[in-house]
Structure 1
Amino acid sequence: MTNESLIDPTTKHTTDPFPKQEQSPPGLTDQMSPQPDHGEQSYRGAHRLEGRRALITGGDSGIGRAVAIAFAREGARVAISYLPSEQADAEETAEWVSDAGTDALLLAGDLRSEAHCAELIEHTEQAFGGLDLLVLNAAYQRNRGGIDELPTDDFETVMRVNLFAPVFLARAAVPLLEPGSSIITTTSIQGFDPSSALVDYAMTKAALVAFTKALAEELGPRGIRVNAVAPGPIWTPLIPATGWPDKLPGFGRDTPLGRAGQPAELAGAYVYLASDDASYVSGAVLPVTGGRGL
């Protein structure tokens, strides 16, 4: 007898090849075809983050939007960090957060700035009266033709957004965090199985694994947990903005599940790591990769 309550993960979301498309960085949701699923219609909260105060970098779109929606539906107040050019995406995310009956705080700016990173923590603390959850999610990547073609200014952007900013943000946030607080980084399968076309991005994601584990060791005695989520190929604005339109039809099809993931499929991992369900989990890297091993 067939169990009709089961959902086949190989067909839960589209398995059709993504059409060729390209955007300028950082990429915008409304220009994507097809539109990603952030859990707008599917995520159901269970009060697991009631009363928590969260800051999510890159929270305007993609994985960050899915996490923002999920956190809000779990009862958290949510601050969203994003670039000024992503204002429309951020405002749409804020509407979903507000619809969940919780506060949304929009904080535009450039994470390459050390001063802006400190201001993000300060503004969140002032607006919410504290900070309990810090999700270091924002990232930048571009397709590289070869190491000899890697532009210095672009390389510096990857390093500052993906590595410097998490350090600046954690440095400013840690003095405010109380026992039971949580820091979650977004690393990547690229940190374990790097592609030469994303050499600098992969470097930063591998470094974030070390950062996560070292920070977990430091902050554990204070009752602050630090973990990471390692996504595989996920359909977000970052992908059409990477500069590889010819690769998009095959994007994600090399995973054991045979398709790319949707941002909504990441939300539960972040909620778990942020919640008391994961009270004995720290220094961990949780893969959400469609079956590809780390």
Structure 2
Amino acid sequence: MHTEPESVAPVHPPSALPVSSAAPEGDVLPELDSIRAGLAGWAASHGLRLLRAVLTGHYAVCEISPVAMSAEDFLALAAHVNAPFVYYNDDLFDAAQFGPEEETLALMDVRDRKKVTALQGRAREQHGRCRTLVLQFAAGAVVHSWHADALWWQELAGELDEVEENPHEEEQEAREEDPPSTPEEIDRIARHLEELPAFREATKRAERERILLREFPELRSRRYNGLSRLGYDAGEEATARVAEAAKHMYDGFTANLPDLAQEAADQGVLAQATTAAARRAALRAFAKERSGGYPPSKDFVELLYSEPALKKPR
């Protein structure tokens, strides 16, 4: 049974350890809020660094964003826990592979094709550069992962998605063998999609459709811009569910905006950001990570950016 994520109040910076660390008497449970508030202080007193982790299957995975920690600090962390190896994966950009699929390109008008040609020209200037870098090490049963995408790659991919989003008329009727679009099938596919981090993070229709077809290739068709009716309906349903969950999450953040801003300030989210654009990008990444993968709206980023706790000192 799927349950939409509930909004969670921002974490307050620990100001002091709990009054007592004694074991609870009888069947009385410990006061978790007090313990949680003291975790960072306890860790610091032992020379430890506290990192948030999630449980994936039978393994704990600690995903660290480049906003929260630099690559150099990540390597220092690996050395601190005596990790024997640090694994890395570098994805070098191949400009020849950049562009829409042939079926999508065939549906574009002249204006959109010119935009694609211009984007591919810019892409050739970046050929051979590193677009994605991943660092990983294991400490005990916990996998620590650091992942970063190049800004120029995010810009190219985003602009291509915008071109591919332009609506086109249906080329032909759906194939007779296309699966029927029933409420049960729509719900099944939508529940699968909304659980995927990549789908939750996607902000462009074209990007969401690529994820859908990667997960359910049988839903490819010449109708609805490359999707069968079931694929189109399930994609719309999953998008609506993700949007509702994100709204619920960010409504909670907005209600506690000063606390969220103070949390970002305490974590040094803006420590390395020297320009307004860099500060907004850092806050966008912070909010996305804090929400569990739901990207914030521009309006929310501006609200957070204007909080007094995050004002750049003069």
Per the shorter chain, which TM-score range? under 0.3
Higher RCO by CA contacts (8 Å cutoff, separation 6 or greater): 1
Of Structure 1 and Structure 2, the greater helix share is in 2
TM-score (norm 1): 0.25
TM-score (norm 2): 0.24
